[in-house]
Amino acid sequence: MVPASETAETRAKMLAARALPDRPYHERLVDIPNLARLIKSQADARGDQTYLIYRDGDQRRVVTYRDLFRRASGVARFMRERLGLAPGDRVSTVAYNHDDTVVIYYAAWLAGAVVVPCNIGDSDDQILFVQANSQCKAVFVMPDLVERYDAIRPRLACCRHFVRIGAESADGYLGLSAALADERGEFGDLDLADHDTEALIVYTSGTTGAPKGVVLQQYQILVDVWAIAGWHGFTPADRAMIVLPIHHVNGLVVTLVTSLYCGGSVVLNRKFSARSYFRTVAEEGATWGSVVPTILAALCERADDFCDCDLGRFRRLICGAGPLTVECGMRFEEQFGLRIIHGYGLSETTAYNCFLPVDLPEEEHRRWMRDFGYPSIGAAIACNEMAIHDPLGQEVAEGVKGEIVIRGHNVMKGYFQRPDANADTFRFGWFRSGDEGFFRTDAGGRKFFFISGRIKELIIRGGINYSPLEIDEVLNRIPGVKGGMAVAFENDYYGEEVGAYIVRGDGADLSAEDVLNACAAHLPFPKRPKVVVFGAEFPVTATGKYQRNKLKPLFASYRHVRFREFHDPGSGGKASRTRP
């Protein structure tokens, strides 16, 4: 239902943001009627072919397409018969990467229900907010998380049923073990949902206020996996390596559902381990994986574990969901000889919106990854288009920075019960990403996009905007720096000033003066970090995104300091630094 406070004008702009210039939203690009039919058709076609291999330390389980549909059918019957869930009802999960979690997601879609996954890395209050705001009717909890969830459960008034995954009924929880072992055959009614039925509500991280629920319908998921599979040319012979959490669209849509769509298979890891990543890839014969930049950096640190692995089938890594620096991308590709297919997308646009083409000649691939100050996030996929807009919603010229905007069939239905956020986000009839970027064209006139930072993370010094990613590139090239990040901090004289947060490499003897001198050689004074803070690690979300703004308090004591440029007489005036 559309909230009463949402205006007709906003609804019209939201619908406009879901259309393509030559393909209105009602002219669908995918003819599969719903996710249930996709699951059933693949089970019929593939039977005993492996769909999922679950890895957790020494544990290894194989789930075939037939097993998947049988187990999901049992849980779907449990949802309908025991829990009384109707199509459109919301079910929430407090779970991690596990084959039972996958079964619950697919069972919900068989039953026409909406999945609301929780990030177990969130606080209890955040989990409570997600489940209360989404008005979930049932919550599925992993047995080893029940004790923690017991502190949340009494405060959740909207929920009728609590279910312990893979266990018997006890202590006020229904058990799911019988449903997972149900042998009564296939779930019968596969048409409880259609393209417009809600399928997934994913909550944003909420770094600037309460989290917002991103509502995705069945069609958005189907059309996005159709476009992703088509771009990469995935076939039933492909096997995806999953280390990202499947409570998020990257792990869920990009790897799990895309692999289902193309009839391939997945290696679902309980969690990421840099030490065992490539060994697992080799053992399981994975052909591709989806990662974030933090994982690339961690793999580079474990390069010694790579040398004896047979990666003959492994072709590429998709990388997105966070800013990738030229330095990190170049280091990874040179160390491992594997191509990064850099891309970009958001929960609000289902998963991915663009990728670097997979068939670029090596020289051209290197050019787009290295020669423009930022690695390109590629060109738009078939189900959406992209542009760069100024603050008034007008498209800007090539090379000019502005806001990345998207419209197409994979754009969300909207934020759940947030007419205010919908009005702002769809103000110009496009989805406004909040990311700053620009585009360049190739010889054929195709637009290749770049992300230069989050608009809310831009450093605004003296009224001039500076991209922190540009400064990150300089910081990460300094010898002895394991990782560096530019941070805007409040300053009485310029509004904001530039700080540098640095994680030293193992054994590195690196001082703040070393960092400031290196920056002075490559950056003009206004862009240069004025203060250096050293730390042991970067704050990241559960999906591996850096949380730059969480570092701001580390620089609070410099708010009242005025920084001036001066030249070192001993360097002949070539090196300039800063001082209060």
Instruction: Kindly report the CATH number assigned to the domain that includes residue 111.
Output: 3.40.50.980
Q: Is 453 left (phi over 0), alpha (psi -120 to 50) or beta?
A: left
pLDDT at 104: 98
Residues 496, 459 contacting (CB under 8 angstroms): yes
User: What is the band of 567 on the pLDDT scale with cuts at 50, 70, 90?
Assistant: low
Task: Write out the DSSP string of 305-373.
Answer: GTTT---TT--EEEE-SSPPPHHHHHHHHHHH--EEEEEE--GGGSS-SEE--TT--HHHHHHHHHTTS
Q: Is 57 left (phi over 0), alpha (psi -120 to 50) or beta?
A: left
Q: Is the pLDDT of residue 168 over 80?
A: yes
pLDDT at 449: 98
Average pLDDT over every residue of 68-91 = 96
Average pLDDT over every residue of 178-202 = 91
Q: Over the stretch 256-279, which tens digit does the pLDDT of each residue have?
A: 999 999 999 999 999 999 889 999
Let me know if residue 537 belongs to a domain.
Answer: yes
Q: Is the pLDDT of residue 570 over 80?
A: no
pLDDT at 2: 46
Let me know if residue 549 belongs to a domain.
Answer: yes
pLDDT at 270: 96
Q: Is the pLDDT of residue 286 over 60?
A: yes
Tell me the β-bridge partners of 173. Answer: 170
Average pLDDT over every residue of 158-182 = 90
Q: Rounded to an integer, what distance in angstroms lies between the CA atom of residue 16 and that of residue 563?
A: 48
Q: Over the stretch 457-474, which tens digit does the pLDDT of each residue have?
A: 778 786 677 878 888 889
Domain boundary among 174, 193, 212: 193
The whole domain housing 148 covers 65-193
Q: Is the pLDDT of residue 577 over 60?
A: no
Catalogue the long-range contacts made by 177-183 (C-beta closer than 8 Å, 24 or more residues apart): 178/78, 179/74, 179/75, 179/77, 179/78, 179/82, 180/71, 180/74, 180/75, 180/100, 180/103, 181/74, 182/70, 182/71, 182/73, 182/74, 182/75, 182/77, 182/78, 183/70, 183/74
* CATH code for the domain of 498: 3.30.300.30
Q: Is the pLDDT of residue 572 over 50?
A: no
pLDDT at 139: 98
Let me know if residue 227 belongs to a domain.
Answer: no
Residues 296, 327 contacting (CB under 8 angstroms): no
pLDDT at 216: 98
Let me know if residue 5 belongs to a domain.
Answer: no
Domain boundary among 169, 193, 217: 193
Residues 407, 429 contacting (CB under 8 angstroms): yes
Q: How many domains does the chain have?
A: 2
By percentage, how much of the chain surpasses pLDDT 70?
Answer: 94
More confident site: 331 or 305? 331
Q: How far is CA 155 from CA 7, 116, 128, 141, 149, in A?
A: 33, 18, 8, 16, 11
Domain boundary among 143, 163, 193: 193
Let me know if residue 556 belongs to a domain.
Answer: yes
User: What is the band of 1 on the pLDDT scale with cuts at 50, 70, 90?
Assistant: very low
Residues 422, 414 contacting (CB under 8 angstroms): yes
Spatial strand order in the sheet of 495-504: 481-491, 495-504, 531-534
Q: Is the pLDDT of residue 440 over 80?
A: yes
Across all residues in the chain, what is the average pLDDT? 90
Let me know if residue 182 belongs to a domain.
Answer: yes
CA 436 to chain centre: 17
pLDDT at 377: 97
Among 115-129, 231-245, 448-462, 524-538, top mean pLDDT goes to 231-245
Average pLDDT over every residue of 536-562 = 83
Q: Rounded to an integer, what distance in angstroms lies between the CA atom of residue 308 and that of residue 116?
A: 41
Closest C-alpha among 50, 55, 377, 42 to residue 242: 55
User: What is the band of 452 on the pLDDT scale with cuts at 50, 70, 90?
Assistant: confident
pLDDT at 210: 77
pLDDT at 571: 38
Let me know if residue 555 belongs to a domain.
Answer: yes
CA angle 495, 500, 506 (to 5 degrees): 170
pLDDT at 50: 98
Supply the DSSP symbol for 453. E
Q: Record the pTM.
A: 0.85
Q: Is the pLDDT of residue 537 over 80?
A: yes
User: What is the band of 416 on the pLDDT scale with cuts at 50, 70, 90?
Assistant: very high
pLDDT at 574: 36
Chain position carrying tokens 């719903």: 34
pLDDT at 406: 98
Let me know if residue 222 belongs to a domain.
Answer: no
Q: Is the pLDDT of residue 240 over 50?
A: yes
Q: Over the stretch 111-160, which tens digit does the pLDDT of each residue have?
A: 999 999 999 988 899 899 999 999 999 999 999 999 999 999 999 999 99
Q: Is the pLDDT of residue 381 over 50?
A: yes
Among 429-438, 483-492, 543-552, top mean pLDDT goes to 429-438
Q: How buried is residue 299: exposed, middle or buried, by Cβ count under 10 Å (0-12/13-18/19+)?
A: buried
